[in-house]
Structure 1
Amino acid sequence: MILLVPVLPLAIWAAVSDLKRMKIPNNTVIAMAAVWPILGWFLVGLSGWLWGLALMAIVFVAGFLLYLTGTFGAGDAKFAAAIAGFFVGGDIGEILLIIFVCMVGSLILHRILRSLPVVRNATPDWESWTRRRYFPFGMALSAIVIFYLLAAIWPQG
């Protein structure tokens, strides 16, 4: 819950910015990247915190390489690195399931929303509606981190 409080508004802003301008603002990425170094040590101890920082660096390098190949946007790569630390110590099966559901769900939701005239008329200047080939991946990344943190605080039965 401690991580969800600062992450939720930043993730929503990143998703909306990516939908509107097909860009995730650097100040949002920096703010998100600061959450783990500031709060992570408190939640997982020094070893887990360091692993989180290492994971952020690994994802940053991987994202940069994907950006160079044209597979990933620069903002998406930076944002993925900024959220990577939150997944340290998580169940890999749960994480992969959340990633899959959020990626597919975000793509389907985006395609449905952009086909609705009421949505298009309410947001006429949003670039993600008109750039057919591209998908605002910040929407999926935001959903992934939000649903992962929600799953982490959900009572286990």
Structure 2
Amino acid sequence: MLAQSAFAALWLLIFSTPIALFVAWSDLREMRIPNLAVLALMLVYAVVGALTLPLADFGWSWLHFIVVLVVGFALSLTGGFGAGDAKFAAAMAPFVALGDLRLFLVLFSAVVIAAFVAHRIFRAIPAMRRATPDWASWERKEFPFGLALGPALIFYLGLACLYGS
């Protein structure tokens, strides 16, 4: 059983999925995550989380945002992570219940590996590149982490819908 409420996870999933999918697409296409997507995800959590989570859990979860934002920006300064990735990861952080952190990190690791392998395979297929000639991620050495961040949030909330408290 996950620590995240199944009821809250369902509503968070419904409203965050379009944003998470847009972030994956945007990072593939432009190698950037728009600030508007980050703000939209934060707004979803602020409204839906306030309506579906216990007040104490909702309040403390904003600390997750601060911690991930600080760590993410430190990583972006070293070049290991883009600033947009850091901001989106921070916006995602409140969605993950503290009791589920270990599970989420394992899930995120698996999604990153799968997304990286899939990205590298698809960019090596000429027909795929012809179908999406304007995607910047095909030409860049860096990996578009939005391709892993968005789906990781969707998978986590989906699991929480099924196995949440």
TM-score category by the smaller chain?
over 0.9
**2:86 partner letter:** A
Q: Which runs of 5+ in 2 are unaligned?
A: 1-9
**1:74 partner letter:** A
Match of 2:39 in 1: 30
Instruction: Name the % identity.
Output: 43
Match of 2:157 in 1: 149
Q: Contact (CA 8 Å) 1:10, 1:28: kept in 2 or not?
A: yes
- Report how far residue 42 of structure 1 moved: 2.6
Match of 1:78 in 2: 87
Q: Structure 1-normalised TM-score?
A: 0.93
Match of 1:139 in 2: 147
- Report how far residue 3 of structure 1 moved: 0.5
Match of 2:77 in 1: 68
Match of 1:110 in 2: 119
- Report how far residue 94 of structure 1 moved: 2.2
Point out which structure has higher relative CO (alpha carbons under 8 A, 6+ apart): 2
Q: Contact (CA 8 Å) 1:106, 1:139: kept in 2 or not?
A: yes
Whole-Å Cα distance in 2 between the matches of residues 45 and 155 of structure 1?
A: 18
Whole-Å Cα distance in 2 between the matches of residues 114 and 7 of structure 1?
A: 27
Q: Which runs of 5+ in 1 are unaligned?
A: none
